[in-house]
Structure formats: C-alpha cells, structure tokens
Amino acid sequence: MDAQPNSPEARDIRYHLHAYTNARKHQETGPLVIEKGDGIYVEDAAGNRYIEAMAGLWSVAVGFSEPRLVEAAARQMAKLPFYHSFSSRSHSPLIDLAEKLVLMAPVPMSKAFFTNSGSEANDTAIKMIWYRSNALGQPQRKKIIARKRGYHGVTIAAASLTGLPSNQTSFDLPIANVLHTASPHYWREALPGESEEQFSTRLAGELEQLILAEGPETVAAFFGEPVMGAGGVVVPPAGYWEKIQAVLAKYDILLVADEVICGFGRTGAMFGCQTYGIKPDIIVMSKQISSSYLPISALLINDRVFEPIADESNRIGTFGHGFTGGGHPVAAAVALENLNLIEERDLVGNARRVGAHMQERLRRLAVHPLVGEVRGVGLIAAIELVADKAAKAPWGSVGALGGLVNGLLQDNGVITRNMGDALAFCPPLIITEKQVDLLMQAVEQALDAAAKQVAK
C-alpha cells in the first residue's frame, strides 16, 4: 500500500501484529482503520461508511453507538473502577449479573463464574470438568469430544477443542485427550439420498462408536455450539441435537453448550439452546453479553457440576482458578445494562422478525450461479459460494471466491467475513428490514460483479 510514513496505516504495519491475518500480506496491503460507529454502521479513517454485517465479531447486539452503555461504564468507573472475586471478595455488579444470568438460563443452573473471553471460559470449563472428575474419584475420565469445524477459541485448550486447521497448524495442537467427531453440515457431508434425519442418526452413531472405542468411562464431556459460527454458520439438521444428547445421556457424559455467538438473541430466542432443545450442564457465554463494549464472559454450571467442585475445593482448601479481570465491575455493569436493553427493546423478537426477512432475502440468492447453499436462523446466516453448483466445487483454491466477494462487498460499503467460501452475515440485533434490504442489494451487486470475473 502507498501510505504516508506517519499515517495510522503505516504505523499499524510498523508496530502491530494482527489476529487472523497473513502477516506478510498485511505489510503490503495495510489495515482498514475504523474510527467511528453509529447504529449498524462504522466509519473508517477516510470517512467511508459501512454496514457492519458481522456486528464486529458476531457480538455488537445494540449497535456501535449506544449511550446507555457508555453511561453505565462511566457511572461504575467513578464508583468502583476495579475489584476482584478472589478469596470470597465480591461487588454489586458481579452479584447482580450472576443472579440475572442464572435466573435467565434456559435450563436450571446453579452458579456463574466470570472470565474475560470465550476462549478463557472454554479453558475454564475444561479445567472444571477435570477437577470434577477427580472429585468424583474418576481420574481416568478426562477425554473431551468436540466437532470438526467447531470453534471454541484460541487459548491452548480452547484451540484444541476448535476443529479448524488454521487454529492448530504450527501451534502443536490439539493437546492430549481432545477428540473430534463429525461436523453436522448436511449440504456438504450427507451421503447421496440421505435425509436430514438419517444424516443426524448416522452422526449420533459415529459419536457413540467413538465413545465406545475410547472407553465410555474415560470420556468426560462433549462441547458444541448450537449453531456453528466461525466454522461457516453450520445450522444443525433435523433431529441432530436430540440424537446427540441421547448418546451423551446414555454414557453419563457432560454437555457444554458454547453460546458465545448464539447467546442473547442471535437465533431468535434468548439462547440457541432454546432454539434447538439443548439441555446442557455448562453454558459458555461472551460477545453479546456486553455487546463487546467491554470484555467479559461467563460460564453457568448446574448442580451436577458445582457440587463435586465445591466438595473438592473444601478437601483441598480452595478452588485454585481465577482471573484478575474476571467479573470486572465496569464490564459487569455494562453487561447488565446491555441485557436490560435487549429485554426492554425486544431485540430477541427483532432478531426473530427481521431475521426471517433476512433469511428470506438470502434464500432468493440460491438461484445465483455462484451460490451453492444458503443457511441460517434468526439474524445469523451464510451463503456458500461455488464455481460449480452441481459438483459443489470452489473457484480455484478454497476461499478464493469467498475472498473475492468479501472484497467486493467492502467496496460496496459492507463489512462481512468469509470463512473459506462461506460468506457470513450476523448484523447487530437492532437492524431493520429496510437496512436488511440495503445489505442484500449490496450482496447481489457483489455476486454479479464476481460472476463476471469468474466467467473470464
């Protein structure tokens, strides 16, 4: 890129190593520097305005300019800018948020534990599960099953759960005792002539065979997102979660629902667990809990998990785990106000109503020559891009077509994200039908422009 030596772009290249970025390519292209936010829009340093169709990173429920969250942060910062929860210490925002989360949970829960990110929360869940197994006198029960294409974060244990090659290659991951079973992507993975129910039955059978091969007495837990996010917005096929849960119950294996993306309205219900009838023992949550205005995440655990942990902490003398910023008072205050806004403004209902409109508009694109599949629920969706619809084949290398359309969309004033050739849409929960129509107009234009380049 041709940037002035002391421009933000040049200084970013000079000093900043970016997440999820080709570091060498970044030195050539530089960053898109975002300076302002307003509702569903953000604005870059050059004054260009974009629909933020990914809500940042699946997370800004109330939009990019909510004054009540700013005010909540300022009030709490002035009153108590920091305190911790070690050694039986607490503070009012943490207590209020813990109570709210436990009472609003989709299934009975006992306690909330606070962390700073979804990755930390999933690492914590694994540590709790191992601690619990030891408390129950089952030291051999340590294996964790996750899914190919699942996403659970990037810390060492969470990245081991994550079933995406880029999160493990050259990182010496996954760690021991983390196993992976099949992705529930019906369009991509089903056998010829296999119905969704049959596909779900086969995947549940494969899970059971994995458990039996490893030894049921060695398997502690199964981790899954209600809807897979970063793996390409994979919506579970008919019967999937019912059949998976039956296998887990048969062998007394804990279920961890990773609600980091789905939670707090994204699927058109408060939790993805409600959308798909999931009854977890642990719920992991982050992102929309505070609309990402400040970092905060949490785990909810039921009594089946809490009681053995409490007993073991009593035997040892402490539960030796925690984070300095876990349940930070300012972040907790912002999260409480954010959840109040979601409830007061019926943003879950908006996700359901406007989400139906977004899904219908996206499904019109299924006839486009570059669209292989459209999938989604509520205000989360993806279109799978292909060069050959019949063969479900990419254009050159996997991700080339997704990257092309993603770039064309940015040129058209839309920020989204392609995971390979899956182009994702996850706008703020405040989006209106008219704004969805503007978004879809830009998508159609980008697809048509890409089709001309593919034809060449």
pLDDT tens-digit series, residues 146-192:
999 999 999 999 999 999 999 999 999 999 999 999 999 999 999 99
Query: Do 352 and 340 sit in the same domain of this protein?
Result: no
d(CA 312, CA 305): 11
On whether residue 53 sits in a domain, the answer given is yes
Phi, psi angles (nearest 5°) of residue 293: -65, -30
The type of residue at 375 is: R
Query: Do 45 and 169 sit in the same domain of this protein?
Result: no
Query: Considering the chain, what is the average pLDDT of its residues?
Result: 97
Domain boundary among 290, 313, 344: 344
Query: Do 384 and 339 sit in the same domain of this protein?
Result: no
Query: Do 393 and 411 sit in the same domain of this protein?
Result: yes
What range defines the domain where residue 426 resides?
A: 32-62+346-455
* Burial profile 24-55: b = 16 or more Cβ within 10 angstroms, e = fewer: eebeeebbeebeebebbbbebeeeeebbbbbb
Domain boundary among 288, 316, 344: 344
The alpha helices in 317-432, defined as continuous H runs, are 329-344, 347-363, 400-411
pTM above 0.85, yes or no: yes
Q: Is the pLDDT of residue 51 over 70?
A: yes
pLDDT at 4: 83
Query: Do 294 and 360 sit in the same domain of this protein?
Result: no
d(CA 224, CA 222): 7
Domain boundary among 292, 323, 344: 344
Interval 109-140: pLDDT, tens: 999 999 999 999 999 999 999 999 999 999 99
Q: Is the pLDDT of residue 205 over 70?
A: yes
On whether residue 6 sits in a domain, the answer given is no
On whether residue 27 sits in a domain, the answer given is no
On whether residue 111 sits in a domain, the answer given is yes
DSSP character at residue 227: S
Share of the chain above pLDDT 90, in %: 97
Does residue 4 come out as left (phi exceeding 0), alpha (psi in the -120 to 50 range) or beta? beta
N- to C-terminal Cα distance for the chain? 27
Q: Is the pLDDT of residue 311 over 70?
A: yes
Q: With beta carbons less than 8 A apart as the criterion, state whether 423 and 416 touch.
A: yes
Residue with tokens 């760690």, as numbered in its chain = 175
Query: Do 408 and 333 sit in the same domain of this protein?
Result: no
Q: With beta carbons less than 8 A apart as the criterion, state whether 135 and 311 touch.
A: yes
DSSP character at residue 108: -
Which residue from 218, 226, 189, 227 is spatially nearest to 206, judged by alpha carbons? Answer: 189
pLDDT at 456: 83
Q: Is the pLDDT of residue 3 over 90?
A: no
Helix (H, G, I), strand (E, B) or coil at 393: strand
Query: Do 269 and 356 sit in the same domain of this protein?
Result: no
pLDDT at 1: 65
Query: Do 327 and 358 sit in the same domain of this protein?
Result: no
pLDDT average, residue stretch 81-103? 98
d(CA 431, CA 353): 11
Q: With beta carbons less than 8 A apart as the criterion, state whether 205 and 244 touch.
A: no
On whether residue 196 sits in a domain, the answer given is yes
On whether residue 7 sits in a domain, the answer given is no
Query: Do 311 and 439 sit in the same domain of this protein?
Result: no
Rounded to 10°, the helix 433-455/347-363 angle is: 30
d(CA 311, CA 132): 9
Q: What is the CATH number of the domain that holds 217?
A: 3.40.640.10
Q: Is the pLDDT of residue 5 over 90?
A: no
Which helix or strand (DSSP H or E) is residue 50 part of?
A: strand 49-52
Looking at the structure of the chain, the number of domains it has is: 2
Output the six-digit token pair for 315.
């035997």
d(CA 313, CA 307): 10
Query: Do 252 and 141 sit in the same domain of this protein?
Result: yes
Interval 378-389: pLDDT, tens: 999 999 999 998
Q: With beta carbons less than 8 A apart as the criterion, state whether 298 and 381 touch.
A: no
Output the six-digit token pair for 155.
């810390």
Query: Do 191 and 109 sit in the same domain of this protein?
Result: yes
On whether residue 23 sits in a domain, the answer given is no
The type of residue at 442 is: A
On whether residue 414 sits in a domain, the answer given is yes
